């Protein structure tokens, strides 16, 4: 253990060296409160509001990198205190980590009070992970330069992941506890990975350099991977991610006489109920299913077509629900990437389904793997029992059927031949009419 | 030259490996270099590849600027051109290798359903985009490394990036052409001049010269933008950009694809219009409409907020649009408010529409626009029910057409089916 007097002197040394970073960070964080920026400044360029946050994140990364780069250098303190050579960097790291956490708490608390309590945890985590990233990278490469540049991708990540959240006015519809816990759970992977990497660095001074560097990279990568995994798969405390991202659906005939609803069961999870009601005849049917389905459409008076995929399965299943017999039977299945349907269900603006009135063809639009702003359009031939990807384009708002073509309401409308599957532009020649 | 290449390779190989690996991994995940022919819609994560190129470039002159190494290097039998060429050519060779490896990774790892979208044009355009951006980023990084080494050079690029993005946004608003081009060229020219004249100078002298060059270019660009040729060129280039097919927003086809609702961008405003596809006749409709939807009979239902009285809140109006011959007819469904957002039902003959909400049903004759209320739930009773069971939904939950002359709904309190025969609405 450190003697209190030495610890106090080391703390004073760290404070003298590090205070400009935290003052700078705190000032920027205060500046970042959008309410404190006049509208005329942020009016045409909303991203101005994100820069202070990004700069604080980068500053923490730089601080970590400088700290790591200094750890092997001889200093006044190392020469004058009777300390183990590894103890002083460990102490400096701990003090700075505490400083970053306090800054995150202060800035996040300030933001929470003025804007949205849900953002407290992400702010603390982003600053801390930026610090750890800078520290670990600089320690691996032995240069502060490497740590600084590692902060730049983090800055971009920050911009993409966080700035949209900062711009949203409030989150009244999100359960505060679940929402905060979600964020904490997700970013904790990065945090734990970074802390493990630093711990490994501090205790592995007898190992060869290459092993120490490799170990740190391994822990950091493990942390990032676990964060991504938590974010994608297990987000949510005590809740099934699919269960909450998949919304209820209702499909009704135009006269309202026949209705099918896809309902999430409260308990036991993750079961869903398909509930059909024929109001005209006073008839009902229910099916409990474990696979999330999209309601494709009524195929005749007594049959409903559904499409579903288990998250980890590389196939999409088209099934028919015989309503009078209350029996679900498979129609066919086709190959599709894993998680395709869930990506669509989680992003309601990019999934659309449509069934041709004669029930021969169906179309399905889902978010594409190839870009955040792209959507895949699948054409399903229900008689020949096969499906093909016919278009990757910007998401369309509607699908319709015209003779032997599928028409997609993409920004430049497209027409897809049902026989060849070839997509071409759908020309709209406009002539204004008086009304 | 061979030895210079070897020196550069020894110094840069870790960053080059990271660059190549990043490109391959992001492309294999479908987020990097495009190999499919999907135009500009690729993932924004693709930017991480040029970023790695920038970081590799940033190390370019860093080692020469420390500890008098530049003076030592220039004392050998090499010229400044050879040193610059070795650094540049190594980077450009890595760009070429990177785009080839990315394309291979994309081809090998993309899911099978996308394979038929991989075309030569797609591969080449993706390679062109990523290669071009990476080369530009590498050269910019190299220019940055000439000004300040290591940490300071990195920060210079970050600050430069923020400044350039903001100034480009300003130029974008003022319809500039030469300004942004010269601003992008300035660091390259500055870097080139420093490579020739400034490597052995003091750091602050390099910063001063670099800043002077950038400012001079920005000033020349801004001045050129005020000349008539700049305006002419800008117009010409923009007319070519917008020459493709018109792009719309929120394109909603009617179920039978005979009509379409779409929003056109005119003078940076979205103007909604309804189009009959058989002959292209179209008409603009109110731009404040929302909750737009097609009915099965080809009629179009929209909601609109209307400000009627000063000091009172906006009221909601329901409008129905129908083509009749050459004309587009609009009727406002009286007393509808926001009815129909929850559910509606069209009669089998397509002449009447039932609109529902928790406390009221409204029946509308689509030919005359007249309405009547076939069912209403007592609001007091509903309030009592909500107080007793706040987690349940109460009221009129659904309605339907039993036949053309008979409607059905669920009783708001007993939840039992109720059938009501209807006299024609046009009759008193």
pLDDT digits (tens, 9 = 90+) for A144-188: 766 776 676 666 665 555 555 554 444 433 444 445 555 666 667
Residue A320, in any domain of the structure: yes
Same domain? For A290 and A390 the reply is yes
Mean pLDDT, chain A, rounded, equals 76
- A and B: number of Cβ contacts within 8 A: 182
CB-CB under 8 Å, A145 with B150: yes
Please, which residues have CB within 8 angstroms of residue B128's CB and are 6 or more apart in sequence? none
Q: Select from A375, A21, A99 the least CA-distant residue to B38.
A: A375
CB-CB under 8 Å, A435 with B345: no
Same domain? For A204 and A272 the reply is no
Same domain? For A154 and A301 the reply is no
* pLDDT of res. B215: 85
* pLDDT of res. A75: 61
A275 burial level (CB within 10 Å; 0-12, 13-18, 19+): middle
pLDDT in tens, A48-65: 556 677 777 778 878 888
pLDDT in tens, A195-245: 888 878 777 777 787 787 788 888 888 887 777 776 665 544 334 444 445
Look-up of token digits 């509308």: B364
Per-residue confidence at A97, pLDDT binned at 50, 70, 90?
Answer: confident
Does the beta carbon of A281 lie under 8 angstroms from any beta carbon of chain B?
no
Look-up of token digits 């009129």: B396
Contacts 24+ apart (CB under 8 A), A210-219: A213/A140, A216/A136, A216/A139, A216/A140, A217/A140, A219/A193, A219/A194
- How far A291 CA lies from chain B's nearest CA (Å)? 22
* pLDDT of res. A172: 38
Residue A269, in any domain of the structure: yes
Residue in A with minimal Cα distance to B295: A254
Same domain? For A28 and A167 the reply is yes
Contacts of B166 in chain A (CB under 8 A): 45
Same domain? For A270 and A414 the reply is yes
Residue in A with minimal Cα distance to B353: A255
Same domain? For A179 and A328 the reply is no
What's the whole-number mean pLDDT along residues B148-156?
A: 66
* pLDDT of res. A240: 43
pLDDT in tens, B336-378: 666 666 788 999 988 888 888 888 888 888 887 788 888 888 8
* pLDDT of res. A161: 56
Domain end call among A166, A201, A232 = A232
CB-CB under 8 Å, B260 with A409: yes
Contacts of B112 in chain A (CB under 8 A): 335
Distances (CA, A) of A30 to A24, A37, B265: 10, 10, 39
Contacts of A433 in chain B (CB under 8 A): 281-283, 326-328
φ, ψ at B140 (rounded to 5°): -65, -40
CA max distance for chain B: 107
Contacts of A336 in chain B (CB under 8 A): 111, 113
CB-CB under 8 Å, B326 with A389: no
Q: Which range, A391-400, B34-43, B275-284, is most confident?
A: A391-400
Q: For residue B95, is pLDDT > 50?
A: yes
Contacts of A335 in chain B (CB under 8 A): 112-113
Q: Select from B50, B212, B59, B19 the least CA-distant residue to B145.
A: B59
Nearest by CB to B38, from A156, A370, A407: name it.
Answer: A370
Higher local confidence (pLDDT), B126 or A113: B126
ipTM comes to 0.78
- Window B:328-387, CB contacts with A under 8 Å: 328-330, 343-348, 354
* pLDDT of res. A170: 41
Task: Give Rg (Cα) of chain A.
Answer: 28
- Window A:246-265, CB contacts with B under 8 Å: 252, 254-257, 259
Same domain? For A267 and A391 the reply is yes
Q: Where in the sequence is the domain holding A46, given as residue range(s)? A: 4-232
- How far A5 CA lies from chain B's nearest CA (Å)? 35
Same domain? For A169 and A254 the reply is no
Other C-beta atoms closer than 10 Å to the C-beta of A347 total: 15
Does the beta carbon of A435 lie under 8 angstroms from any beta carbon of chain B?
yes
Q: Which of A134, A255, A395 is the best mutation test for B, with the most CBs of B within 10 A?
A: A255
Contacts of B248 in chain A (CB under 8 A): 411-413
Same domain? For A142 and A282 the reply is no
* pLDDT of res. B97: 95
Residue A338, in any domain of the structure: yes
Higher local confidence (pLDDT), A18 or A329: A329
Same domain? For A9 and A127 the reply is yes
Strand order in the sheet with A414-417: A399-402, A405-408, A414-417, A423-425
Nearest by CB to B329, from A255, A402, A435: name it.
Answer: A435
Per-residue confidence at B73, pLDDT binned at 50, 70, 90?
Answer: confident
Does the beta carbon of A310 lie under 8 angstroms from any beta carbon of chain B?
no
Contacts of A369 in chain B (CB under 8 A): 30, 110-111, 114
Distances (CA, A) of B318 to A219, A292, B24, B304: 59, 35, 54, 6
- Window A:207-236, CB contacts with B under 8 Å: none
Domain end call among A232, A261, A289 = A232
Same domain? For A262 and A395 the reply is yes
Per-residue confidence at B428, pLDDT binned at 50, 70, 90?
Answer: very low
Q: Which range, A248-262, B324-338, B365-379, is most confident?
A: A248-262
Other C-beta atoms closer than 10 Å to the C-beta of A62 total: 22
* pLDDT of res. B154: 65
Lowest pLDDT segment from A177-181, A307-311, B141-145: A177-181
The pTM for the full model equals 0.68
Residue A371, in any domain of the structure: yes
Domain count, chain A: 2
Residue A185, in any domain of the structure: yes
CATH number for position A368: 2.130.10.120
Give the whole-angstrom CA distance, residue A384 versus residue B364.
Answer: 43
Lowest pLDDT segment from A251-260, A286-295, B153-162: B153-162
Distances (CA, A) of B22 to B19, B26, B31: 5, 6, 11
Q: Which of B38, B109, B125, B340 is the best mutation test for A, with the most CBs of A within 10 A?
A: B38
Residue A239, in any domain of the structure: no
Residue A266, in any domain of the structure: yes
Instruction: State the pairing for strand pair A431-432/B281-284.
Output: parallel
- Window B:16-55, CB contacts with A under 8 Å: 30, 34, 36, 38, 41-44, 47-48, 51, 55
pLDDT in tens, B216-230: 888 888 788 778 887
What's the whole-number mean pLDDT along residues A72-89?
A: 65
Residue in A with minimal Cα distance to B39: A393
Same domain? For A56 and A172 the reply is yes
Nearest by CB to A411, from B114, B116, B249: name it.
Answer: B249
Percent of chain A with pLDDT strictly greater than 70: 73
Give the whole-angstrom CA distance, residue A301 versus residue A304.
Answer: 9
- How far B77 CA lies from chain A's nearest CA (Å)? 31
CB-CB under 8 Å, B328 with A413: no
Residue A100, in any domain of the structure: yes
Look-up of token digits 């001063």: B208
What's the whole-number mean pLDDT along residues A89-99?
A: 84
Does the beta carbon of B155 lie under 8 angstroms from any beta carbon of chain A?
yes
- How far A398 CA lies from chain B's nearest CA (Å)? 5
Domain end call among A232, A260, A292 = A232
Q: For residue A45, is pLDDT > 50?
A: no
């Amino acid at each position: 253990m450190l003697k209190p007097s030495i610890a106090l002197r080391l703390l004073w040394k760290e404070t003298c060296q590090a205070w400009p970073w935290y003052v700078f960070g705190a000032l920027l964080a205060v500046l970042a409160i959008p309410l404190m920026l006049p509208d005329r400044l942020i009016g045409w360029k909303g991203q101005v509001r994100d820069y202070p946050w990004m700069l604080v994140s980068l500053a923490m990364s730089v601080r970590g990198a400088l700290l790591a780069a200094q750890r092997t250098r001889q200093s006044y303190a190392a020469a004058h205190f009777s300390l183990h050579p590894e103890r002083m960097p460990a102490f400096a790291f701990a003090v700075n980590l505490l400083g970053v956490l306090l800054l995150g708490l202060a800035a996040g608390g300030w933001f929470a009070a003025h804007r949205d309590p849900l953002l407290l945890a992400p702010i603390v985590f982003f600053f801390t992970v930026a610090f750890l990233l800078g520290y670990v990278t600089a320690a691996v490469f032995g240069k502060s330069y490497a740590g600084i540049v590692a902060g730049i991708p983090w800055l971009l990540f920050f911009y993409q992941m966080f700035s949209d959240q900062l711009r949203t006015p409030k989150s009244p519809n999100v359960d505060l506890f679940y929402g905060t816990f979600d964020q904490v759970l997700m970013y904790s992977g990065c945090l734990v990975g970074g802390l493990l990497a630093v711990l490994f660095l501090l205790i592995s001074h007898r190992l060869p350099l290459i092993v120490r560097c490799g170990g740190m990279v391994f822990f950091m990568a493990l942390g990032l991977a676990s964060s991504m995994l938590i974010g994608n798969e297990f987000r949510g405390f005590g809740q099934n991610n699919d269960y909450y991202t998949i919304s209820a659906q209702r499909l009704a005939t135009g006269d309202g006489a026949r209705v099918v609803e896809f309902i999430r069961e409260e308990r036991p999870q993750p079961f869903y109920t398909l509930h059909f009601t024929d109001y005209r005849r006073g008839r009902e049917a229910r099916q409990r299913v474990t696979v999330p389905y999209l309601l494709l459409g009524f195929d005749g008076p007594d049959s409903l077509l559904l499409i579903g995929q288990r998250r980890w399965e590389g196939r999409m299943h088209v099934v028919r629900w015989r309503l009078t017999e209350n029996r679900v039977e498979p129609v066919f299945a086709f190959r599709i990437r894993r998680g395709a349907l869930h990506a669509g269900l989680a992003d309601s603006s990019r999934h659309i389904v449509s069934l041709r009135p004669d029930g021969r063809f169906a179309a399905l639009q889902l978010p594409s793997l190839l870009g955040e702003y792209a959507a895949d359009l699948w054409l399903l031939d229900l008689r020949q029992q096969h499906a093909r990807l016919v278009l990757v384009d910007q998401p369309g708002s509607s699908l319709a059927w015209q003779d032997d073509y599928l028409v997609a309401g993409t920004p430049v409308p497209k027409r897809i031949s049902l026989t060849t599957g070839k997509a071409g532009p759908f020309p709209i020649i406009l002539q204004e009419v008086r009304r | 030259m061979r030895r210079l290449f070897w020196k550069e390779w020894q110094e840069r190989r870790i960053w080059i490996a990271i660059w190549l690996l990043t490109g391959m991994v992001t492309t294999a995940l479908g987020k990097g270099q495009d190999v499919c022919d999907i135009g500009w819609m690729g993932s924004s994560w693709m930017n991480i590849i040029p970023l790695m190129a920038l970081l590799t470039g940033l190390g370019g002159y860093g080692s020469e600027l420390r500890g008098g190494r530049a003076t030592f290097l220039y004392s050998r039998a090499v010229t400044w051109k050879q040193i610059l060429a070795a650094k540049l050519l190594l980077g450009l060779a890595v760009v070429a290798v990177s785009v080839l490896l990315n394309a291979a990774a994309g081809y090998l790892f993309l899911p099978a359903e996308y394979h038929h979208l991989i075309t030569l044009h797609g591969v080449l355009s993706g390679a062109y985009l990523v290669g071009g951006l990476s080369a530009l980023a590498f050269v910019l990084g190299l220019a940055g490394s000439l000004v300040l080494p290591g940490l300071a050079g990195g920060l210079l690029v970050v600050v430069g990036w923020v400044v350039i993005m903001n100034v480009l946004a300003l130029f974008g608003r003022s319809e500039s052409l030469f300004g942004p081009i010269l601003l992008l060229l300035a660091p390259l020219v500055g870097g080139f001049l420093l490579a020739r004249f400034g490597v052995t100078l003091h750091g602050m002298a390099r910063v001063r010269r670099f800043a002077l060059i950038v400012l001079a270019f920005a000033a020349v660009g801004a001045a050129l933008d005020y000349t008539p040729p700049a305006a002419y060129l800008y117009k010409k280039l923009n007319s070519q950009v917008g020459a493709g097919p018109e792009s719309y927003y929120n394109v909603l086809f009617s179920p039978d694809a005979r009509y379409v609702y779409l929003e056109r961008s005119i003078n940076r405003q979205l103007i909604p219009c309804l189009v009959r596809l058989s002959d292209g006749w179209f008409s603009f409709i109110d731009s404040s409409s929302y909750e737009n939807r097609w009915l099965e009979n080809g009629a179009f239902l929209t909601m609109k907020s209307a400000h009627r009285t000063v000091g009172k809140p906006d009221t909601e109006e329901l409008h129905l649009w129908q083509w009749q011959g050459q004309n587009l007819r609009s009727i406002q469904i009286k007393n509808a408010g926001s009815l129909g957002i929850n559910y509606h039902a069209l009669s089998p003959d397509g002449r009447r529409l039932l609109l529902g909400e928790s406390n009221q049903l409204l029946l509308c004759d689509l030919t005359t626009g007249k309405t009547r209320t076939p069912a209403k739930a007592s609001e007091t009773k509903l309030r009592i029910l909500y107080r007793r069971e706040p987690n349940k939904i109460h009221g009129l939950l659904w309605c339907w057409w039993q036949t053309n002359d008979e409607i059905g709904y669920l009783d708001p309190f007993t939840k039992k089916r109720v059938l009501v025969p209807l006299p024609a609405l046009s009759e008193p």
